[in-house]
């Protein structure tokens, strides 16, 4: 990675200033919407990224990237101004759509989601980019079987760069409203709790005891005040845990005493996983720094898929980067040892021949059958929470199926706004 500009990547938030582009005055919001040149409906990914940009999760980004930033991120893993950044954040449109809406550079357009006004997008530039080159550099492969590569190839012909201003903030629906802490609020919560060292745990899963001890081990290693469980909520694939299981299952560890109330907090971010492995680990570290975390734990196969990346690729990538102002807590596996009769760490247990790794596939199979796993691998209260979520939110299943995708309780709702 080459860095053209000398900047301080340790600043927290990233870039030194927490972005906040949310219009709270309703009359001003309506005026901005009325003056927009066109109304453009956007898909879920773009809506979620508009929200994340506006609330500062992606600081220092203030909008969708222009050509110079995209090219620098793809080739150098920095923005054009020199700040480390690893994943392109882009808005795409087809030539036909651009012509249909009559969009030109310099226009302000209104993004709508689910037929409601969402955000103003100031079109600063329109450009094309080599999607194969983007895929090869960001994902390390051009294999369309990789979900991130497929997402890249599915982008339309043109990219539009420019600032985003959220004019109609989302209302988060239960149970997600309990876990929505934008950066300004999470930082305030940390201060209120007296937490100066917080280690982030990235997750898309319901926690088994291996995950629990991963968090506890990182808490000890970082000498942290608390663990922030940061659940990824976004695009779902069939077979994934439903979102409600993830956030409520993680929160159950605190609610039932497996973590003290003053050392654990569950939150969520809106993000559609790219499965970019080590590069996505860098992105996750920056986002959690923006939330106020000082440390981030990275285990095996972080943000990976298939066998595209080395098992501990997320451990290696930070060695070639400048100090990001958030320390990596690098951890190997926790597993069950029948000789020790408990959960042990790969780094110090000597009974390697007897070790029994946690198999997500096996645990999912047990849960699918409604059988309560032994408490050594799955806390009973977490299992009960998962089963409750299956009945209440998952149409009888804790895993995503067609019924859930079509009829699920939305994570957030964009309130009606008359324009």
pTM above 0.85, yes or no: yes
Segment 201-259, tens digit of pLDDT: 999 999 999 999 999 999 999 999 999 999 999 999 899 999 999 999 999 999 999 99
Q: Residue 4 pLDDT > 60, yes or no?
A: no
Q: Residue 327 pLDDT > 50, yes or no?
A: yes
User: If pLDDT is split at 50, 70 and 90, which confidence band does 121 have?
Assistant: very high
Using CA atoms, how far apart are residues 47 and 226, in angstroms rounded to an integer?
A: 31
Of 204, 300, 364, 408, the active-site residue reads 204
Same-domain status, 133 and 228: no
Which of 146, 170, 194 marks a domain boundary? Answer: 170
Classify residue 126: in a domain, yes or no. yes
Classify residue 358: in a domain, yes or no. yes
Which of 116, 135, 170 marks a domain boundary? Answer: 170
- The residues with which 202 forms a beta bridge, in sequence order, are 230
What integer pLDDT is reported at residue 163 of this predicted model? 98
Classify residue 301: in a domain, yes or no. no
The mean pLDDT value for 308-334 works out to 92
Same-domain status, 182 and 120: no
Segment 367-415, tens digit of pLDDT: 888 888 888 889 999 999 999 999 999 999 999 999 999 999 999 999 9
Domain with 71 in it: 26-170
What integer pLDDT is reported at residue 2 of this predicted model? 45
Written as six digits, the tokens of 265 are: 């907090």
Q: What is the mean pLDDT of the chain?
A: 94
- Domain CATH for 213: 3.40.50.620
What integer pLDDT is reported at residue 288 of this predicted model? 98
Same-domain status, 48 and 191: no
What integer pLDDT is reported at residue 336 of this predicted model? 82
Classify residue 249: in a domain, yes or no. yes
Segment 253-266, tens digit of pLDDT: 999 999 999 999 99
The mean pLDDT value for 309-327 works out to 93
The mean pLDDT value for 66-82 works out to 98
Same-domain status, 102 and 57: yes
Same-domain status, 163 and 181: no
Which of 120, 152, 170 marks a domain boundary? Answer: 170
User: If pLDDT is split at 50, 70 and 90, which confidence band does 338 have?
Assistant: confident
User: If pLDDT is split at 50, 70 and 90, which confidence band does 344 have?
Assistant: confident
* 136 φψ region: left (φ > 0), alpha (ψ -120 to 50), beta (else): alpha
The mean pLDDT value for 273-288 works out to 97
Which residues does 258 contact at the CB level (< 8 Å), separation at least 6? 212, 379
Classify residue 415: in a domain, yes or no. no
Same-domain status, 71 and 108: yes
Q: Residue 149 pLDDT > 50, yes or no?
A: yes
Quick one: DSSP state of residue 350?
S
Same-domain status, 241 and 382: yes
Q: Is 205 a catalytic residue?
A: yes
Same-domain status, 75 and 182: no
Q: Supply the DSSP string of 257-326, one letter for each residue.
A: TSS-GGGEEEEEEE------THHHHHHHHHHHHHTT-SEEEE-TTTT--TTSS-TTHHHHHGGGS---SS
Domain count, the chain: 2
Closest CA to 414 of 266, 244, 270: 270
Sign, CA dihedral 22-290-114-93, equals: positive
Segment 181-202, tens digit of pLDDT: 999 999 999 999 999 999 999 9
Segment 63-72, tens digit of pLDDT: 999 999 999 9
Same-domain status, 186 and 102: no
Cα angle 260, 314, 203 (rounded to 5 degrees) comes to: 40
Q: Is 81 a catalytic residue?
A: no
Using CA atoms, how far apart are residues 19 and 248, in angstroms rounded to an integer?
A: 29
Same-domain status, 214 and 141: no
Classify residue 330: in a domain, yes or no. yes
Same-domain status, 128 and 188: no
User: If pLDDT is split at 50, 70 and 90, which confidence band does 38 have?
Assistant: very high
What integer pLDDT is reported at residue 5 of this predicted model? 60
What integer pLDDT is reported at residue 204 of this predicted model? 93
Using CA atoms, how far apart are residues 290 and 296, in angstroms rounded to an integer?
A: 12
Strand ranges inside 138-282, DSSP E: 158-166, 171-172, 198-203, 226-233, 264-270
Written as six digits, the tokens of 152 are: 């890249």
Of 81, 193, 205, 409, the active-site residue reads 205
Q: Residue 323 pLDDT > 90, yes or no?
A: yes
Written as six digits, the tokens of 305 are: 């898929």
Using CA atoms, how far apart are residues 390 and 374, in angstroms rounded to an integer?
A: 20
Give SS3 for 188: helix
Sign, CA dihedral 173-44-324-277, equals: positive
What integer pLDDT is reported at residue 3 of this predicted model? 45
Using CA atoms, how far apart are residues 331 and 346, in angstroms rounded to an integer?
A: 9
Closest CA to 156 of 76, 69, 42, 80: 42
Closest CA to 170 of 331, 81, 47, 321: 47
Classify residue 122: in a domain, yes or no. yes
């Amino acid at each position: 990675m080459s860095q053209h500009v000398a900047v301080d990547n340790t600043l927290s938030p990233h870039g030194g200033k927490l972005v906040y582009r949310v219009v709270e005055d309703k009359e001003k919001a309506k005026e901005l919407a009325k003056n927009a040149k066109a109304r453009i409906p956007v898909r879920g990914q773009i809506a979620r990224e508009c929200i994340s940009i506006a609330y500062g999760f992606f600081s220092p980004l203030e909008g969708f990237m222009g050509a110079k930033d995209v090219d620098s991120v793809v080739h150098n893993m920095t923005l054009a101004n020199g700040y480390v950044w690893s994943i392109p954040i882009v808005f795409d449109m087809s030539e036909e759509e651009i012509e249909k809406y009559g969009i030109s550079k310099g226009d302000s357009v209104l993004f709508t989601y689910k037929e409601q006004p969402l955000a103003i997008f100031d079109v600063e530039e329109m450009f094309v980019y080599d999607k194969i080159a983007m895929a090869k550099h960001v994902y390390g492969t051009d294999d369309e079987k990789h979900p991130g590569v497929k997402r890249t190839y599915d982008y339309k012909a043109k990219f539009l760069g420019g600032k985003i201003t959220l004019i109609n903030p989302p209302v988060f629906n239960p149970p997600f409203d309990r876990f929505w802490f934008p950066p300004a609020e999470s930082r305030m919560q940390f201060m209120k709790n007296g937490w100066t060292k917080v280690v982030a745990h990235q997750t898309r899963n319901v926690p088994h005891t291996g995950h629990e001890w991963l968090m506890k081990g990182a808490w000890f290693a970082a000498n942290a005040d608390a663990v922030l469980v940061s659940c990824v909520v976004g695009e779902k694939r069939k077979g994934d845990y439903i979102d409600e299981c993830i956030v409520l299952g993680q929160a159950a560890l605190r609610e039932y005493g497996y973590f003290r109330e003053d050392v654990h907090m569950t939150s969520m971010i809106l993000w559609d996983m790219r499965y970019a492995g080590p590069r996505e680990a860098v992105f996750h570290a920056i986002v959690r720094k923006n939330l106020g975390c000082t440390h981030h734990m990275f285990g095996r196969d972080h943000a990976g898929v298939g066998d595209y990346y080395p098992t501990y690729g997320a451990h290696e990538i930070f060695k070639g980067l400048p100090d990001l102002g958030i320390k990596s807590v690098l951890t190997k596996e926790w597993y069950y040892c029948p000789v020790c009769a408990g959960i042990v760490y790969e780094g110090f247990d000597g009974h390697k021949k007897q070790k029994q790794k946690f198999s997500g596939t096996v645990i999912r199979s047990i849960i699918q059958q409604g059988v309560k796993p032994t408490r050594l691998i799955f806390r009973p209260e977490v299992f009960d929470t998962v089963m409750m979520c299956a009945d209440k939110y998952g149409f009888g299943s804790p895993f995503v199926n067609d019924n859930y995708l079509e009829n699920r309780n939305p994570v957030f709702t964009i309130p009606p706004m008359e324009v």
